[in-house]
């Protein structure tokens, strides 16, 4: 397993990507997962790319962002294309998103169908640009329970779709992380791990 840290961890800190990369390399990480907002903010810095990161002995495995599935199709396609373009600049072959902004139990059949169709459209675009589209297991989305996540995979039914398995979020959703991992394993392409001691955290 290759270990990376995510720049979203430092979103409330005044640190440059160079500071983060140096710390990651010194701490024996193999990569830096870029938050989409950070990647967009560096678009004008033409020297910031996969080669720049490789100089630290690091790679960028994934860009993590939030695609606008609730907006019009043109906006979604533009956002998807831009995210995949940025991923290519950093040598990342995976992009992560959330499956909407509503919990599965609060989503109507019509809204679920629409989001699934748009996610499939985004997967097709990602595949065309050499990327995998990963949905994160996360509360308040269509991947908030094991059953809903499995259903979403079946509804979208696209080879570019995979799962970013966040163990904490699976646990928060009430599922047994070990059982959920076993069930989703054929689709898991990336993991998010966090330090947690109890639900009070």
98: three-class secondary structure by DSSP: coil
pLDDT band at 10 (very low <50, low <70, confident <90, very high): confident
pLDDT for residue 78 is more than 80 = yes
- Residue 107 CA to residue 103 CA, distance in Å, equals 6
- Residue 1 CA to residue 189 CA, distance in Å, equals 11
- Residue 118 CA to residue 8 CA, distance in Å, equals 26
Catalytic residue among 138, 169, 181, 192: 138
Q: Which two tokens stand for residue 29?
A: 């990480």
- Residue 111 CA to residue 108 CA, distance in Å, equals 5
Q: Which two tokens stand for residue 163?
A: 């799962």
Cα–chain center distance at 9: 14
- Identify the pLDDT of residue 24: 96
The terminus-to-terminus CA distance of the chain in angstroms comes to 26
**Domains of the chain with CATH codes:** 1-59 (no CATH), 61-192 (3.20.20.150)
- Identify the pLDDT of residue 72: 94
Tell me whether residue 169 is one of the annotated catalytic residues: no
Q: Which two tokens stand for residue 182?
A: 């076993």
23: exposed, middle or buried (C-beta count within 10 Å: 0-12, 13-18, 19+)?
Answer: middle
Percent of the chain with pLDDT over 70: 99
pLDDT digits (tens, 9 = 90+) for 129-154: 999 999 999 999 999 999 999 999 99
- Residue 170 CA to residue 98 CA, distance in Å, equals 14
Range from 4-18, 27-41, 77-91 carrying the lowest mean pLDDT: 4-18
- Identify the pLDDT of residue 194: 86
Average pLDDT, the chain: 95
């Amino acid at each position: 397993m290759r270990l990376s840290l995510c720049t979203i961890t430092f979103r409330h800190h005044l640190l440059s990507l160079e500071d983060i990369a140096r710390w990651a390399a010194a701490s024996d990480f193999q990569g830096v997962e870029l938050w989409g907002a950070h990647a967009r903010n560096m678009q004008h810095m033409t020297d910031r790319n996969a080669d720049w990161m490789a100089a630290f002995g690091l790679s960028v495995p994934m860009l993590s962002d939030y695609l606008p599935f609730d907006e019009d199709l043109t906006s979604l396609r533009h956002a998807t294309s831009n995210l995949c373009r940025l991923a290519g600049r950093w040598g990342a072959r995976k992009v992560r998103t959330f499956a909407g902004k509503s919990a599965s139990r609060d989503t109507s059949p019509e809204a679920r169908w629409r989001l699934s169709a748009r996610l499939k459209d985004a997967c097709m675009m990602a595949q065309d640009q050499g990327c995998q589209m990963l949905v994160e297991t996360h509360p308040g989305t269509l991947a908030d329970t094991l059953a809903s996540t499995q259903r979403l995979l079946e509804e979208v039914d696209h080879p570019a779709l995979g799962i970013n398995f966040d163990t904490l979020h699976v646990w928060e959703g009430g599922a047994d992380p070990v059982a959920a991992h076993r069930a989703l394993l054929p689709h898991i392409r990336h993991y998010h791990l966090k330090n947690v001691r109890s639900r009070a955290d």
